[in-house]
Copies of this chain bind each other. A is one copy, B any other.
Amino acid sequence: MEEYSEKQLSILKVAERLFADQGFHGTSVRDIAQEADVNIAMISYYFGSKDKLLETIFKYRLEASRKFINELLENDTMEPLEKINSLIDRFVNKMLGEQYFQCIMSREQLNSQQSPIRDLIWQLKGEMLGLMRPIVTRAQEAGIFYKDVDVEMLMTTLFGTIHQVIPAQHILRSSSGVEDLNDDEYRESVKNRVSTHLKKLFKAILKHEF
């Protein structure tokens, strides 16, 4: 990955936020330029076009995600359920730590027409499935996990739950005893809540007895 100047990073950061909040087509390059405090022409000058700006954001984030996945592969001494729990913790932490980008992903994966970005998204999801499946399969063969589980669907539930939590936060905020937390504390409490829920869910479906 090439390095980016402060100005370029500023554009990328602002663009990511605005694309997340208003959608790609709902955000104009003038909006981005104004909030990033740069001239409009700089966007084309640096990134070529608005489309390529989005592509740059994706390459930047997805490279980090791929690195993240590879790190997860390493620790191999844990029990299966520990592994799953660790995986969930890290996924939740990662995805809720880059909520703007996850919003963009949520939007982009809905586009019907094929695009390099859509391909990248599903390729990454495939890799994440490839991370979880062998853990489950091996534990099933060892008789530790229940056998009748749809792993693909379980990953769908993992992603879907997290992606659903992101827009729900603003609403959940005003409900149960979290009004007096500051923004950072609240974000941590959400991570915890989602993580706890998902770990219970996975444990229940993988280790229960019917």
Residues of A participating in the B interface, judged by any CB pair closer than 8 Å:
20-26, 103, 106-107, 109-113, 122, 125, 148-150, 152-154, 156-157, 159-168, 171-172, 175, 193-194, 196-197, 200-201, 204-205, 208-209
Contacts and interface: CB of A to CB of B under 8 A. Distances in A.
A20 B161 contact: no
Nearest to A119: B171
A167 B205 contact: no
A164 to B, nearest CB: 3
Nearest to A194: B153
B157 A23 contact: no
A112 to B, nearest CB: 4
Given A22-B112, A25-B26, A111-B23, A204 B208 contact: yes
Nearest to A25: B25
A161 B168 contact: no
Contacts of A163: 160, 163-164
Q: Name the 8 nearest CB pairs between A and B, nearest first.
A: A160-B164, A160-B160, A25-B25, A21-B112, A153-B197, A204-B204, A208-B208, A160-B161
